[in-house]
């Protein structure tokens, strides 16, 4: 009787593990995919914001461009803090370097800011390229 109870208990544990392990692996895979999707979305958001700021400055609408670039620069640290990869995080944080220069040039309505925004757009694309990819 005692051996039978042990065998039944072991069988129950084995059945539990057979049902639990595949679901655990699946949940981890889905969590990883969700994290990658969020990183990709955050990268796309940064690219969209700086692209829009560049377009607005190119159209000589410096006020709107300043507002859009302000949103871009406020999102960069948030997105950098959410990035798991240290190399990618550093690249995203480096996007803040021209903040003061661009903000001042937009405030003055300096047409040369278009080149700075174009450079920042290119750097943003490089920093967020493949964000969320395995």
Q: What is the pLDDT of residue 66?
A: 97
Count of domains in the chain? Answer: 1
CA of residue 7 relative to chain centroid, distance: 50
Q: What is the pLDDT of residue 122?
A: 96
Is residue 69, in this structure, part of any structural domain at all?
A: yes
pLDDT beneath 70: ranges in the chain: 130-134
Is residue 65, in this structure, part of any structural domain at all?
A: yes
Contact 83, 39 (CB under 8 A): yes
Per-residue model confidence as pLDDT tens digits over 98-134: 999 999 999 999 999 999 999 999 999 999 986 554 4
Q: What is the pLDDT of residue 131?
A: 57
**Nearest-CA neighbor of 92 among 54, 128, 129?**
128
Is residue 57, in this structure, part of any structural domain at all?
A: yes
Cut 0.85: pTM above it: no
What residue numbers bound the domain in which 77 lies? 40-128
């Amino acid at each position: 009787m005692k051996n039978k109870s042990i065998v039944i208990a072991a069988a129950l544990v084995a059945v539990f593990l057979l049902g639990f392990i595949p679901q655990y692996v699946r949940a981890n895979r889905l969590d990883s995919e969700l994290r990658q999707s969020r990183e990709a979305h955050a990268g796309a958001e940064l690219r969209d914001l700086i692209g829009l700021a560049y377009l607005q400055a190119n159209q000589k609408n410096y006020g709107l461009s300043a507002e859009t670039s302000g949103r871009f620069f406020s999102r960069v640290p948030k997105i950098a803090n959410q990035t798991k990869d240290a190399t990618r995080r550093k690249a995203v944080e480096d996007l803040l370097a021209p903040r003061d220069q661009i903000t001042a040039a937009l405030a003055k309505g300096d047409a040369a800011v278009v080149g700075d925004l174009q450079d920042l757009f290119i750097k943003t694309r490089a920093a967020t390229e493949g964000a969320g990819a395995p």
